[in-house]
Amino acid sequence: MTHPARPSGFQPIRHDRLIQEAQHDSYKNKEKLPQPTLCPDCGAVFMAGRWQWLDKPEGAHESVCPACHRQRDHFPAGYVTITGDFFNAHEEEALQLIRHHAEREKAEHPLQRIMEIDKTKFSTVVITTDIHLARGIGEALHHAYKGELEFHYNAEQNLLRVNWSR
């Protein structure tokens, strides 16, 4: 019995040697961006291996940053659901705390942004471009007002759902 001819350079698949991604994030750049790279939407600059708020460099390449890409696609990475009578009674103060926390994080990490804040009859949902911001908002609410805090992370989708109530 003869083996079928294999094209030159063909290697059979070894399932025991497949490289698995540590974390799958379709919004993370697959290849390293040339430096400097400017996001035409928000003005963030990719320099020294990360996105930063810098002055627009001369001759910069252009590429949409992952946060703006998520906003264009309406594909968040984090949801913070806020419920309870306490929140309803102190809504303006709590939203100010959330916005302040988000602005402080965005100043240091340009990819951590609030996409929108949706208010319904029973809850308020803060939608973020980054799982770390969602976690930080939940922890800030819990630190300031106590209450119940839950995290639900879906590794396959790189999605964090945070529930806070009081």
Instruction: For 63-108, write each residue's pLDDT tens digit.
Output: 999 999 999 999 999 999 999 999 999 999 999 999 999 999 999 9
Rounded CA-CA distance 39/52 in Å is 10
- Is residue 158 included in any domain, yes or no? yes
Query: Is there a domain that residue 1 lies in?
Result: no
> What's the pLDDT tens digit per position in 99-150?
999 999 999 999 999 999 999 999 999 999 999 999 999 999 999 999 999 9
Higher pLDDT, 23 or 159: 159
Structural domain contains residue 85? yes
Closest CA relative to residue 52, chosen from 70, 33, 75, 71: 33
Is the pLDDT at 5 greater than 80, yes or no?
A: no
Classify residue 21: in a domain, yes or no: no
Q: What is the mean pLDDT of residues 39-47?
A: 97
The predicted structure's pLDDT at residue 27: 74
Instruction: Kindly state the average pLDDT of the residues 47-76.
Output: 95
Residue 4 to residue 102: CA distance in whole angstroms: 60
What pLDDT was estimated at residue 68?
Answer: 97
- Asked if the structure places residue 90 within a domain, the reply is yes
| 146 lies in some domain | yes
CA dihedral 114, 76, 134, 96 (to 10 degrees): 20
Q: What is the b/e burial string over 6-42, where b = at least 16 CB atoms within 10 angstroms of the residue's CB? A: eeeeeeeeeeeeeeeeeeeeebeeeeeeeebbbbeeb
Phi, psi for residue 160 in degrees, rounded to 5: -120, 130
> Does residue 17 form part of some domain?
no
Q: How many domains does the chain have?
A: 1
Counts of helices then strands in the chain (DSSP H, E): 4, 9
pLDDT for the residue 28:
72
User: The domain containing residue 120 runs over which residues?
Assistant: 72-165
pLDDT at 7: 56
CA 148, chain centre distance (Å): 23
Q: What is the pLDDT of residue 79?
A: 98
As given in the structure block, the two tokens for residue 9 are 């350079």
- Looking at residue 31, what is its pLDDT? 78
Could you tell me if residue 43 is inside a domain? no
What's the pLDDT score for residue 32? 85
